[in-house]
Structure 1
Amino acid sequence: MAAVALVIAAAGSATAAAPQMISNDGHRLAFYVTPGKLPAIVLDAGGGNDASYWKDLVPALSARTGSEVITYDRTGSGLSDEVPGPWKAQAAASDLEAGLTQLGVAGRVILVAHSLAGEIATYFVNDHPDQVAGAVLVDANLPEFFTKSETAKIVAANQSQITALQAQPSTRETRQLLAQAADFGPVHLAYHEMSWPPSIPATAIVSSSTPFDTPDDALLWKAAQADFVAEASNRRLIVADNSSHDIPIDRPDVVIAAIEQMTEQGS
């Protein structure tokens, strides 16, 4: 089971756009803005990746929608500061809100969250529903998936990979990976109790292969995505055929079309 891959991916380098540094709770984060019309599209990459994950989608989205497009480096990635201690989605949601506020982003945004960033989107939309016009959740970590039994399986599967990381030299990357893996069990059992506000439309895009190489976990992942969509009439499920978990790289056409539709709906 590719458990840690659910939380951890290879880190990327900073995006080519000029960074705008914002501050929140004593640390600084890099945001990158491509100007355009509202609603702004906010792209949030999966675990271990920074804003450069979206480098090919940003110009395509800007051209297709004419919208403002925003990416950012979360704490410990890209040009943003490290923050000691376990990584928390709630703190990341606070960072995102601070960034949008300090950048003066007007109106409600379209959130696009890949993988781990689904947790940030869920906390953000619960804390700031008035700031979100809609969301596209790309093979995202959704609360429905993290049952007690599945969370215990992931924690157990992660231990050998965490031990291997701890044995490596302490680098910015290994520290960030360990921060994301820390307290996984209690954090995700609490996340399982979260829900998405029914008033905020969402499109869930699920990969054909899922993040898992074990059939039972892959089935649960797909079922969780379907259950999420079934909970409200303003949600839609899309299967990205011939795609790994990295749907934005393997099937950018699917992601761009979903964002374009959500942007038109939120205008």
Structure 2
Amino acid sequence: MFETVRKNHRLRPAIVGLCLAAALTGITACADSTPSDSGKPKSPGQSSHQNSKAPAAVKPSASAASLRMVANGDHSLAFHVTPGRLPALVLDAGGGEDSSYWKKMAPDLAKRTGSMVVTYDRAGMGKSDEVPGAWKVENAVSDLKAGLTQLGITHDVILVSHSQAGEVATYFAKENPNWLAGAVLVDGSLPEFYTDEETARIEAANKAQVAALKDQPSTQQTRQLLATAEGYGPTHRAYHQISWPRSVPATAIVSEKTPFETPEDAQLWRNAQQEFVKGAPNRDLVTAAKSSHDIAGDRPDVIVTAVGKMLKAVG
């Protein structure tokens, strides 16, 4: 199931957040860097600052993204900031991906919306420091909060979160609802999906895959995969009990193909997205037609449209 790391090709992660679930159906990629035209799947709340300017921490005269290294405890994280007005769009990639996942969409959104656009590398990815031990969503939330605090962006934030980043977004929203103007969850990993039965099936199906991964050479990628796999069951049983704050508007975009190949698991994924949207009147469901899990690669227009509608809704 696991692939070795090949030159100029990212490891297609079968066990990164959502990808661990996808392994049930034999999927070897969650967020794949292969272009979508190759035929292979790649891997509204009212704002109180309607016309805010960019925080002083970021120079509004710059036209291109600038790299800002921020510290959280004993490690540093890479944030890429394109100046603009608030609300700020914070783009968070899925499991196994870093900020480069948004390399085409980030400048396009900045140009179309005039908003500040922020992408970043979670710990152990891209230019951010590696942190030993199991991956914990609480640590990821702490990193994101530290970065936005140091950038001076502590209100009027719209999260655009793909796949595993949906978990980070959910915990962040629960802890910091007043920071957020809204969120666009791009085939996001949502609490509703992780019933006890589904989580148990995922754990059982991946024992052999985890063992195989341990036999591979230790690289940054394999270490991140194993860190995500460690404690997966308890982590997601706890996640199933978490709920998105009703005060924060959200749009859930679900891919037509979903991350799964079997009809049963694909329908469970769709049901979870629908259940999430039914949880509050300020949530919308959008289906990305003809898209794999890699909606940013296959149907970027769907994300751009959803972001535009969210910005209009929040003022």
Separation in structure 2 between the aligned mates of residue 48 and residue 106 of structure 1, nearest angstrom: 27
Match of 2:19 in 1: 7
Residue 164 of structure 1: how far off its partner (Å): 1.5
Summarize the Cα distance change of 1:106–1:84 in structure 2 as closer, same or farther, 3 Å threshold: closer
Match of 1:265 in 2: 313
For residue 120 of structure 1, give the secondary structure of its aligned residue in structure 2. Answer: helix
Residue 17 of structure 1: how far off its partner (Å): 4.2
- Larger-Rg structure: 2
Match of 1:39 in 2: 87
Q: Would you say the 8 A contact 2:180–2:248 is kept in 1?
A: yes
Separation in structure 2 between the aligned mates of residue 234 and residue 204 of structure 1, nearest angstrom: 11
- Of the three residues 175, 185, 198, the one matched with 1:127 is 175
Match of 1:161 in 2: 209
Q: Would you say the 8 A contact 1:7–1:180 is kept in 2?
A: no
Residue 191 of structure 1: how far off its partner (Å): 0.1
Q: Answer yes or no: is 1:102 the counterpart of 2:102.
A: no
Q: Would you say the 8 A contact 2:32–2:294 is kept in 1?
A: no
- Of the three residues 104, 107, 110, the one matched with 1:56 is 104
Q: Answer yes or no: is 1:77 the counterpart of 2:103.
A: no
Alignment of 1:169-248 (within 5 A): 169-248=217-296
Letter in 1 for 2:209: Q
Residue 148 of structure 1: how far off its partner (Å): 0.2
Q: Percent identity?
A: 59
Match of 2:164 in 1: 116
Separation in structure 2 between the aligned mates of residue 230 and residue 4 of structure 1, nearest angstrom: 29
Q: Would you say the 8 A contact 2:94–2:164 is kept in 1?
A: yes
Instruction: Using structure 2 for the length normalisation, give the TM-score.
Output: 0.81
User: As a proportion of its length, which structure holds more helix?
Assistant: 1
Q: CA RMSD in A?
A: 1.8
Separation in structure 2 between the aligned mates of residue 127 and residue 7 of structure 1, nearest angstrom: 25
Residue 11 of structure 1: how far off its partner (Å): 8.2
Instruction: Using structure 1 for the length normalisation, give the TM-score.
Output: 0.95
5+ unaligned residues in a row in structure 2: which ranges?
2-12, 21-29, 34-63
For residue 124 of structure 1, give the secondary structure of its aligned residue in structure 2. Answer: helix
Residue 25 of structure 1: how far off its partner (Å): 2.1
Q: Would you say the 8 A contact 1:11–1:173 is kept in 2?
A: no
Letter in 1 for 2:277: V
Match of 2:140 in 1: 92
Aligned length in residues = 264
Residue 19 of structure 1: how far off its partner (Å): 1.8
Q: Would you say the 8 A contact 2:66–2:82 is kept in 1?
A: no
